[in-house]
Amino acid sequence: MNTENQKKIAAEKATESVQSGMVVGLGTGSTVYYALLKLGAMVRAGLDIVGVPTSAGTEKIATAQQIPLVTLATHPSIDLTIDGADEVDAHLNLIKGGGAALVREKIIANASEKILIVVDESKISRVLGTTFPLPVEIVQFGWEATQTEVNRICGKSTLRVASTQDGRQNPLITDNGNYILDCHLDGIPAPQEIELQLNNIPGVVENGIFVNRADKIIIGTPSGIRYME
Ligand code: 5RP
């Protein structure tokens, strides 16, 4: 089974936990995309849910799928969130933010009763921070000074850029109007400490380390689905 099919079976398996009446957190990314398609089909067939999207991109896809959307203002408590991850360790710690949605993803994770993470097998890692750079969202003001402080903890980081239609490279701007630094680490043996240290730097909005958040990892593998919980 190729990677795309691994993502699809994991995401579709997660939707089996969604029941009518639920407030569902809708994650971001190419794996969650398959869950959005499936949930859309379920809603059109009568499933009665509301969703809280973690990004403008997800909001657009969910709207096209006719999934009714609400906000945390009216629905501050989420029954179940389905989200992806960029890296997962054996303790269910995650690196997220490859899709630049880490701030809203962490807010929604924090409001969620239960979190299912859907990934393909390539995301599983022995030590967090060895296969994917750690995203850190920072405000634009004084970002170079913030980067210097981030580098004291992470060693080296790069400002994430996005290509314009005419091929120029500009800093990527998140849904919240911020920049992202990608930190290149040789591993994060103490993720909770690094999460707190980074968030203590003035100018840092949030970072992509998610500790003690996931209830279950649903992994699509070449031979089918396996779980970590
Ligand atoms: C977005 C995320 C995504 O969940 C993560 O990047 C995984 O995406 P994909 O399923 O496309 O690999 O954290 O901020």
User: What is the model's pLDDT at position 171?
Assistant: 97
Strands (E), the chain: 23-26, 50-53, 78-83, 87-88, 94-95, 112-120, 134-138, 157-159, 161-163, 169-171, 179-183, 204-207, 209-210, 216-221, 224-228
Q: Which of 9, 36, 61, 96 to mutate to test the pocket of ligand 1 (most atoms within 8 A of CB)?
A: 96
Task: Kindly give the distance from the C-alpha atom of residue 220 to the centroid of ligand 1, in angstroms, as a whole number.
Answer: 15
- Coil vs helix vs strand at 175: coil
Task: Kindly give the distance from the C-alpha atom of residue 190 to the centroid of ligand 1, in angstroms, as a whole number.
Answer: 22
Pocket flag, ligand 1, residue 31 (CB < 6 Å) = yes
Pocket flag, ligand 1, residue 137 (CB < 6 Å) = no
Q: Which two tokens stand for residue 161?
A: 């850029």
Q: Looking at ligand 1, which atom is closest to the CA of residue 98?
A: 6
* d(C-alpha 137, C-alpha 74), whole Å: 26
Q: Which residues are catalytic?
A: 105
Instruction: pLDDT tens for the chain, 229 residues: list them.
Output: 899 999 999 999 999 999 999 999 999 999 999 999 999 999 999 999 999 999 999 999 999 999 999 999 999 999 999 999 999 999 999 999 999 999 999 999 999 999 999 999 999 999 999 999 999 999 999 999 999 999 999 999 999 999 988 899 999 999 999 999 999 999 998 999 999 999 999 999 999 999 999 999 999 999 999 999 9
Task: Kindly give the distance from the C-alpha atom of residue 32 to the centroid of ligand 1, in angstroms, as a whole number.
Answer: 8
Q: Which of 7, 31, 207, 218 to mutate to test the pocket of ligand 1 (most atoms within 8 A of CB)?
A: 31
Q: What is the pTM of this model?
A: 0.97
User: What is the model's pLDDT at position 1?
Assistant: 87
Pocket flag, ligand 1, residue 129 (CB < 6 Å) = no
